[in-house]
Amino acid sequence: MNPHTLSSSSQNESVTASIYDQYVIKNYNRAALTLVRGEGSHVWDDRGRRFLDFTSGIAVTALGHGHPHWVEAIRRQAGELVHVSNLFRNPLQGELAMRLTRKAGPGRVLFCNSGAEANETLLKLARLHGVRKAGEEGKCIGVICAEDAFHGRTFGGMSATPQDKIQKGFRPLLSGFSFGRLNDLESFERLIDSNTAAIFLETIQGESGVLPCHPEFLVGIRQLCDKHDLLLILDEVQCGIGRTGRFFAFEHSGIRPDAIGMAKGLGGGFPIGAIWAGEKAADLFTPGSHGTTFGGTPLACAAALAVLDVLDEEGVLERVRENGAHLLEQLEGLGRRYPDQLEGVRGLGYMVGLQLKSDPVPVLVSLREKGLLALSAGGNVVRLLPPLTVSRAELDEAVALIAGVLAELAA
């Protein structure tokens, strides 16, 4: 890069930072980095620096950046029909609902715009089940969630998220929520009473540090829900859509929930959310009981169908399973080499958490300086969410960069 370009880039960066400082609400602690272009597993900033993107926009860009099939699907649909209301049918919404139902099981799909909206819809579904169960409104409204859960920032989502940093300033929240300890079946069973309508869980808690539900725990929860006529609702907004090497993360346990929330990777970067409701709950919503202006538009569905095409036709999930195991093995090796810095590694597929023994922020900054973008999560965790299309060579490159930062810490 010649000095002219560098000077111009630095000036552009300064202008962008100034505009953000003056006009954008400060609800994020943003890194001093302005991203302008992406291709595959990489992004570039406005100074021309290239980074391995192991954030995927927080598990959103499932196919990486600029996948040709995905780009062409959006380009083609944008020239045909972008939006119609849900007062009419559009063929792509029907096709997407059919393909998702074939993956989840018999039931129906409702589309929305985001994970928060999907989770809010699931909580409404639980209320409707409670009305049917009790025979009246307002009696059976209890929803049992997990400690350290994160279900979004709507009032329903915050009420299901027992974290002070999320709830502070917005209380009073919705009533009816209680919280058991993740992977402690008895703590959930003790909370069930005649007013309980549903159990609502993230199959893998992402924001709280990549904490998976153990398969035997999910099996036990399924049995409790069957015994007490509760809906088992799973939030797969971050861990679904192939991130663990199965289309849904719960598939690793062999159970089937009654409803699923999904978003993020479903659109590959274009906003779309959805819930699947199984046969027990598929008839609970009726005309007028829920709605959305932008949910399931032709353009959003074209993006999601392109994601499914690539996952289904290019062997992506098999590679996620194989390369994800390789990634975990390499990272666990770093844990043995640097036990004073790295406490442990956990996760599945391309959803991995590195449990540090210190604040992750300096590690994230050092990784960024070396060319790797990663995320923090609860409990001093560095979270890795590479695109599902990442190559093994790129995974190895990321591991080498992490090793370099750990070596610096050790020194």
Tens of pLDDT, residues 56-115: 999 999 999 999 999 999 999 999 999 999 999 999 999 999 999 999 999 999 999 999
Residues 386 and 274: beta-carbon distance below 8 Å? no
Catalytic status, residue 150? yes
Q: State whether residue 15 is helix, strand or coil.
A: helix
Q: In what order do the strands lie in the sheet with 372-373?
A: 35-39, 42-45, 50-53, 372-373
Catalytic status, residue 312? no
For domain 70-313, give the CATH number. 3.40.640.10
Question: Which pLDDT score is estimated for 14?
Answer: 77
Could you say which DSSP state residue 378 is in? T
Which residues in the chain come in under a pLDDT of 50?
1-7
Which of 150, 177, 250, 270 is labelled catalytic?
A: 150
Which of 111, 148, 248, 264 is labelled catalytic?
A: 264
Rounded Cα distance, 4 and 47, in Å: 11
Domains of the chain by residue range:
3-8+20-66+316-410, 70-313
Nearest residue to 382 (alpha-carbon basis) of 362, 355, 401: 355
Q: How far apart are the first and last CA of the chain?
A: 33
Nearest residue to 317 (alpha-carbon basis) of 394, 265, 256, 383: 265
Question: Which pLDDT score is estimated for 342?
Answer: 97
Which of 46, 53, 235, 258 is labelled catalytic?
A: 235
Catalytic status, residue 51? no
Nearest residue to 248 (alpha-carbon basis) of 117, 107, 68, 102: 102
3-8+20-66+316-410 folds as Aspartate Aminotransferase, domain 1 (3.90.1150)
